[in-house]
Amino acid sequence: MNAPANSDWQPVCRRDELTGERIVEFRIQRPQTEPGTMPLTGFLFLDGSEPRAYVNQCPHLGIELNWMPGQFMDADNLFIQCSTHGALFKPGTGDCIAGPCQGDALTALDVRIDAGEVQIRFQE
Ligand code: FES
């Protein structure tokens, strides 16, 4: 199987594996730009019943949001929270509503479900 091109969809997990508050982390495949660029990771979760995915990169310093695997949410489980300086992001839009990057946003990934599989697409 060939590695996906930048515009291709990348499978992440089965839709039925994405339940409740589970957050799935994955490496974003960028065969056109790697090696030579920093690897990027992403995370996928259910926002209500809607799958959403973002690049795991805080707009403040460009570092990953989480210290612990699968831990992205604040204590109330309402907002995505950066573990470094505590910025809060709306799960549905990625908009930063508090913290040092307020007014900025996470980079959203395209998400689709194809034959029961959740797929993401990253556009450079
Ligand atoms: S690195 Fe995320 S808020 Fe500073």
Cα 84 to averaged position of ligand 1 atoms, centre (Å): 5
Structural domains for the chain: 10-121 (2.102.10.10)
Phi then psi for 15, rounded to 5 degrees? -60, -35
The tens digit of pLDDT for each residue in 64-104 reads 999 999 999 999 999 999 999 999 999 999 999 999 999 99
Taking CA atoms only, the protein residue closest to ligand 1 atom 4 is 85
User: For residue 123, what is the DSSP state?
Assistant: -
Task: Point out the ligand 1 atom lying closest to the alpha carbon of residue 82.
Answer: 2
Kindly give, in sequence order, each residue whose CB lies less than 8 Å from that of residue 38, ignoring residues fewer than 6 positions away: none
Cα 98 to averaged position of ligand 1 atoms, centre (Å): 11
The tens digit of pLDDT for each residue in 15-39 reads 999 998 899 999 999 877 766 677 8
pTM of the entire predicted model: 0.91
Choose the residue to mutate in 85, 95, 106 for probing ligand 1, maximizing ligand atoms within 8 Å of C-beta.
Answer: 85
